[in-house]
Amino acid sequence: MPYIIMKRNDIPDGILQVLDMEPNTSQRNYTLDPPGQTKYVNAAKNDTVVTTTLGGGEEVMHRAANGLAAWIITNLNDGTGAAATGTFTITFATPIIAGDTVTVGPQLFTAVAGARTPGSNDFSIASGTDPGIATDLAAAINDPLNGGGTLSTLVTAVPAAAVVTITANMDGAAGNLVLATSNAGGFAPVGMAGGVDAGPLTAADANAGADAVLVLYAFGDLTAAAGVLDLAAINGALVGGAAITAAQLPSVLNLLAGAKYQTPRGVQIDDGAGVWDVQPPVGAEGGPGFVAGSNRALFLNDGLPLSFVMGDLEEFTDSAFVYAGVPGDPNGEAVVVYNDDGTFFTP
């Protein structure tokens, strides 16, 4: 969905409203029409984040905070984490026989002479070749039907010739799973290692990163032109080793477009051992998260481009927009409209 983001900081919340995008919220057919698009455009919140250290060394939110810096400190770390990896190297001539077992963390797999059966925690040795067995073992590890789907959420296995490389899906020491087998010559495990927990961002880094992101679109600056808010630009603005993923970009754009993100007082950021560990987790009861329904979705129907070219958005995106007698020229537009990837919207 496109994002309408308030650029000026002198327009209070609940003042600027886009009324000409269909369906109109108050006039739509609740049976046939999607959610209404008419909406107030509010500036992004960016409370200053303050943390405090408890007796056990845990770093927690000293006070509640709303907005971008609060999102950053609870969703991003210092980038020092690493994912664990391990391998099995297959040698069928050892020999490998039906009944041999391979264990990956909590899950045991058994070799069978016939075809692998999804959900049965087995893998086939029927190919009689090292690459064939490696391929089938990797498929068993990745199969969400095996082990109740738990293992496939923890690791991903990739076969290459006779070697199966297993990589944890998330950074951290918890990914250093034990790899074992009943046939060391046939499967030659090298246990998972290299998983490192990331450290937390400091409050200063979260605040500085948030301020730098606001500068990207010249929030509150009537003389500077807005820049793009794509993945590269945002990551270039963040500090302390923080970086967002492509999957997190919509959350940042949604927040800048006025969605409310709240982090309560007392939420843990650091577990006391220098490990980034948000507790309660994001989205959990009592934890940080977005307020449901705090920002309305926009749709690429005729309403948005028409408003942009000859309606409310045309006026609000004019660099000479005047609010409360304050002219905006040369860069005083009230809002900037962005595409899903953070580039500028054009109809």
pLDDT in tens, 165-195: 999 999 999 999 999 999 999 999 999 999 9
Amino acid 292: pLDDT: 86
Domain boundary among 193, 226, 254: 193
Amino acid 27: pLDDT: 64
Look at residue 329 and tell me whether its pLDDT is greater than 80. no
Same domain, 7 and 106: no
Could you give the CA distance from residue 122 to residue 338 in angstroms, rounded to a whole number? 49
- The total domain count for the chain is 2
pLDDT in tens, 15-32: 998 888 776 666 666 676
Largest Cα–Cα separation, the chain: 85
Same domain, 244 and 176: no
345 falls within a domain: no
Same domain, 116 and 69: no
Given a contact cutoff of 8 angstroms between Cβ atoms, the answer to whether 122 and 136 are in contact is: no
Q: Enumerate residues 6+ apart whose C-beta is below 8 A from 204.
A: none
Domain boundary among 193, 228, 249: 193
Range of the domain at 310: 3-79+200-338
Same domain, 207 and 313: yes
Lowest mean pLDDT among 52-61, 244-253, 320-329: 320-329
142 falls within a domain: yes
Same domain, 170 and 240: no
